């Protein structure tokens, strides 16, 4: 039996980064994402976020890929939000996402960071946070020049 322990910190946004995850529905959505992931045999440690984005920390199993896990944890909750009529308009997630591996020694720090999103975003916008991630992890963002 393979022994695999790969922690992933993932972040994704609402379509067009609209502030749709208001305080009224936010926790229900995050709880649903967490429960849905566990029901799909995804070890989801923590889910939290803010008005236009979600952070989660999960562990990959040996037969899981980041893209497949994110497809599963983004798709059904979007359908659920629409079915529950939590918003007046149709809800969608942005296709793109951010995902990085987390070393075992940093799991508690990432967990704390995710848990404290409300306080964090009183000091910093999501755009500022996003840019810090891009810079910190050396991602190249390609923009259409056309």
Domain residue limits at 87: 6-137
- Please give the structure tokens belonging to residue 44: 């989801």
Judge whether 145 lies within some domain. Answer: no
pLDDT band at 146 (very low <50, low <70, confident <90, very high): very low
Q: What total number of domains does the chain contain?
A: 1
Judge whether 1 lies within some domain. Answer: no
The CATH number for 41's domain is 3.30.70.1290
Q: What is the pLDDT of residue 141?
A: 61
2-54 tens-digit pLDDT: 788 999 999 999 999 999 999 889 999 999 999 999 999 999 999 999 999 99
Q: What is the pLDDT of residue 138?
A: 78
Judge whether 40 lies within some domain. Answer: yes
Single pTM value for the model: 0.86
Judge whether 146 lies within some domain. Answer: no
Judge whether 90 lies within some domain. Answer: yes
Quick check: 58 and 46 in contact, CB under 8 A? no
Judge whether 95 lies within some domain. Answer: yes
Judge whether 96 lies within some domain. Answer: yes
62-82 tens-digit pLDDT: 999 999 999 999 999 999 999
- To the nearest 10°, report the CA torsion of 10, 22, 127, 89: 90
């Amino acid at each position: 039996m393979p022994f695999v322990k790969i922690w992933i910190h993932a972040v994704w946004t609402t379509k067009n980064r609209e502030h749709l995850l208001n305080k009224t529905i936010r926790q229900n959505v995050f709880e649903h994402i967490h429960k849905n992931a566990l029901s799909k045999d995804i070890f989801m440690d923590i889910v939290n976020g803010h008005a236009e984005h979600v952070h989660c920390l999960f562990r990959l199993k040996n037969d899981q890929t980041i893209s497949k896990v994110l497809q599963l944890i983004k798709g059904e909750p979007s359908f659920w939000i629409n079915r529950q009529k939590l918003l007046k308009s149709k809800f969608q997630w942005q296709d793109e996402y951010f995902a990085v591996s987390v070393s075992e020694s940093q799991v508690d720090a990432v967990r704390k960071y995710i848990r404290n999103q409300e306080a964090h975003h009183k000091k910093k916008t999501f755009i500022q946070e996003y840019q810090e991630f891009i810079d910190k992890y050396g991602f190249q963002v390609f923009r259409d020049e056309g």
